[in-house]
C-alpha cells in the first residue's frame, strides 16, 4: 500500500535530498515547473528528467533523458506523467534502486505502485510534496 500517513510522508520529505523530477518542463506555467522551483527553494536538489529537453537547462539544472542517464544517485523519483506513461519509468526507478517513488496528484498506477513496493521502494501516490510540506509544517 502506498504511504498515506503523516509520519510516513514526513519521514520521506525530511530524509530525501536529491529528487529526479520526471516530466519536468521549461514552461513556467506548468505545475511541474512550479513544484520544481518550490522544492529548490525548500533546499532539495532537483534533477529534471524529460527526453524532449535532454541536455538543456531548467532552473539551473541539466535535464536528463531518463532516470538511467542521471550520473549520480537520487533519493526519490517524482513522476509528473500521465498514468498510462508511468510503467516504464516505475520499472526504471526499480532498476536504478531509487528508494522512493512519488506519483503526483492524479497520477495513479496501482499495479506499478505494487511492483515498486515489492521491489522494496517506498511509494507515495496521488499527492504533491508542494502541498504536503506546508501541511506537515516541514521547515526548510
The mean pLDDT of the chain is: 97
Q: Cα separation of 44 and 114, whole Å?
A: 27
b/e for 50-73, b at 16 or more Cβ within 10 A? beebeeeebbebebbebbebbeee
Dmax (CA) for the chain in angstroms is: 37
Per-residue pLDDT tens over the stretch 30-87: 999 999 999 999 999 999 999 999 999 999 999 999 999 999 999 999 999 999 999 9
H/E element, 58: strand 57-58
The pLDDT-based confidence of 92 (bands split at 50, 70, 90) is: very high
The DSSP code for 72 is: S
Residues in the chain: 140
Give this prediction's pTM. Answer: 0.96
pLDDT value at position 11?
Answer: 97
Amino acid at each position: 500500500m502506498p504511504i498515506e500517513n503523516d509520519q510516513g510522508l514526513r519521514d520521506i520529505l525530511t530524509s530525501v535530498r536529491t529528487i529526479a523530477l520526471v516530466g519536468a518542463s521549461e514552461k513556467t506555467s506548468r505545475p511541474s515547473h512550479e513544484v520544481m522551483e518550490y522544492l529548490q527553494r525548500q533546499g532539495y536538489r532537483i534533477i529534471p528528467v524529460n527526453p524532449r529537453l535532454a541536455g538543456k537547462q531548467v532552473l539551473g539544472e541539466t535535464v536528463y533523458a531518463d532516470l538511467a542517464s542521471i550520473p549520480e544517485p537520487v533519493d526519490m523519483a517524482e513522476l509528473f506523467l500521465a498514468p498510462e506513461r508511468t510503467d516504464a519509468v516505475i520499472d526504471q526507478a526499480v532498476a536504478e534502486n531509487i528508494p522512493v517513488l512519488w506519483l503526483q496528484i492524479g497520477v495513479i498506477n496501482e499495479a506499478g505502485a505494487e511492483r515498486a513496493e515489492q521491489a522494496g521502494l517506498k511509494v507515495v501516490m496521488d499527492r504533491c510534496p508542494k502541498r504536503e510540506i506546508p501541511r506537515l509544517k516541514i521547515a526548510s
